[in-house]
Each structure stands twice: as structure tokens, then as C-alpha cells.
Structure 1
């Protein structure tokens, strides 16, 4: 019975070991001085990962559609946050768009587009990539000047492998003690 419980814990905890929390803008945070087009490059955002937005009271965070992202329009926000320490869980594949709705901030570059891939890394996104790509007709979206995020990587990061190894060692020790 104890072995079955331990295996159940392993099955439940394994997906969490692969989730990554990205601090948007790294140590700079969500600010008007951030370069989020550069920050997103080289990162693979996977279902289950989280984005941590750290910002002061002069900013907030809106999740928006691609059109509202391209036009810096916060009037139709899908979700709005203003707690200064917002965690967004990436729960679906496809593009996600974020802007600061403070007047002038988005137009000054305070906006972020990420493309979320499936947790296995083998399933392509189910929707089109963020702005900078082409529309279904093959033409660039109007007003689009930003480039899309890089293609997803299928290799897990070294950090994730280390987490899994550590978890496996702890589980092995627990099973050894129980037997």
C-alpha cells in the first residue's frame, strides 16, 4: 500500500517538476525600460509554466488579444491585474499578449507576446504565432512591427533535469526507508 501511495505521489508531482517560472524582464521587472522583444528570445514557454510580472504602482497588466496588442488598446482587456506581483499560469497552447495600460507605456514598448507550446514539446501550437507573422491570407497584420518569438525547443532545460533528478533521489530515499 505504501509503495502504491509513493508511486501516486510521483505521478502527480512529475508534471510540476517541469514547470518553469519566468520573471518577466528578469531583475528589471515589468517597466518602461524593459526590452521584452529581446527578453522573450531563446525562451520556450510551455503549458504549466508561469510568468511573474513585478511592477510598481505606476504600472498594471492587461492580457489582451493580438489586435489590441498591436494597437496598444487596453479598452477590451481579457484580464486586468494591478497587484504589483502578478503570476500568470500558461494553461493553453498558442499566443498570449500582455500590455501595460498606463497611457504611453505600451506604445513605448511595455508589451509582451509569448507563444505557449504543449508540455511534451512535440505538439505544435494550435493557433497562429504572435504578431509579426502572417495572417491566413499570407500578408503581415496591419500595424505589425514586432517579430515573433523563436521556434519552440523540444529539449528540456538542465534546470528541469536537475529538479527531476533531485525529486527521484528523495523518492528513492523515502521508498528505501519504508521498505
Structure 2
């Protein structure tokens, strides 16, 4: 097989997960605004590394990325990052929880406060194995100072675990136009690389 074809194949494999990234518009049609239940909005959605959060908001709002403590207390003095301008795209670059608040006085703490907690999962296409019982540990033995005449014991068989395979995540309905554009641009890029390496 041609070296350039092999290189092209690996480039395609590296770009593949990002071709299917999703843009989530925070709050959907309501955007980043007062009176929106962002906990409810985020529930049922699966946010993956490579996806983006898109905040759309008016001039009286901003978006601060904060740590968990500042999220709970609605404090923005130690913001990790601040976004302003009415239309902010936040790339989700690592797995774990990420927190956002509106730093405008009273907006985070009000009823229907402007705060969002998102749990980002790894962009894995391989399902994790489930139903495998954990290894059993044998109880610790106490040393004896005199020779023992008790018969040797055999370890008990591992108990059978009743596990079920989790159902696949629900479709969260977050389809962005930019995903198709990204896929199209990525396809052109990969095609250009393949042609460049072959020529």
C-alpha cells in the first residue's frame, strides 16, 4: 500500500470524531436569559469532548466559566474565563464537569437563575464493557504462631452479579447547521490532502 494512502487514512481517523461534533445552543430558542431552567435544559443531553456550547444573549448578560464552588455561590470574581458580546461559542475540550454563570448582579441568584452545569464525557465511539463483575477480594488472614491443623480452605466462587446493559442514550435532538458545514469543510480538507500526497 502506498505511504501517502496510509498517511491519508490516519489523518481521516484523527479527524473523524470532530466531524460529528454537535453545537448546543444553550437554552435553545430562549438563549442565555433570565427565567430559563438550565438544569432541565441540560438533562437528557449528552455533551462530548469536541462539542460546543453556543451562548446567545443580550447586552445585559455575559457568561463566566467558573469552578464548582463559585457556581454554587454565584461568585464570578475568580472566573476561569469570561465571554461577552452576545454570541459565544465554548468548545468542550476535556471530560468532566464544567460550570457557567451570568456575572451580572442578581442574575445567577434569582429564581430561574442564569447558571449552568454541564457534564462532558469523552468522545469515545467504543462502548464501555458492562456486566463484567468486579474482581473479588479474599478476606485478610491473621497470622498464626502455632502450626495449624485446620484443613485448607478453598476460595468461594465469585458471586454472580445481576447486571443489565444500559440502554443507549436518548437522542437529544441537538442538530446544528454548523455540523454539516464542518463535515463538508473537513471532507474537502481530507480530499485535498489525499490529492496532494498522491501528486
Give the TM-score taking structure 1 as reference length: 0.66
Tell me the C-alpha RMSD between the 2 structures: 3.3
Equivalent in 97, 100, 120 of residue 98 of structure 1: 100
**Is 1:116 matched up with 2:120?**
yes
* Larger-Rg structure: 2
Distance 1:40 1:57, change over 3 A: same
Report how far residue 152 of structure 1 moved.
10
Q: Which runs of 4+ in 1 moved over 6 A?
A: 155-160
d(CA) in 2 for partners of 1:40, 1:157: 10
Asked if the contact 1:24/1:52 (under 8 Å) is kept, the reply is: yes
Following superposition, the deviation at residue 35 of structure 1 comes to 1.3
Residue matched to 2:79 = 77
Q: Which residue of 2 aligns with 1:138?
A: none
Deviations 1:117-163 (A, max 9, x none): 1111656xxxxxxxxxxxxxxxxxxxxxxxxxxx9956887969xx7
Q: Is the contact between residue 52 and residue 89 of structure 2 (CA under 8 Å) also seen in structure 1?
A: yes
In the TM superposition, residue 34 of structure 1 has moved relative to its aligned partner by: 1.5
Contact 2:45–2:172 (CA under 8 A) maintained in structure 1 = no
**Post-superposition shift, 1:30?**
0.4
Separation of aligned partners in 1, 2:38 and 2:101: 11
Structure 2 distance, partners of 1:76, 1:7, is: 44
Give the secondary structure class of the aligned counterpart of 1:116. Answer: strand
Aligned to 1:25: 27
Structure 1 CA distance, aligned partners of 2:61 and 2:101? 10
Cα 1:18–1:156, aligned 2, differ >3 Å: closer, same or farther? farther
Structure 1 alignment gaps of length 5 or more: 124-150
Alpha-carbon separation, structure 2, partners of 1:68 and 1:95:
13
TM-score of the superposed pair, with normalisation by structure 2:
0.60
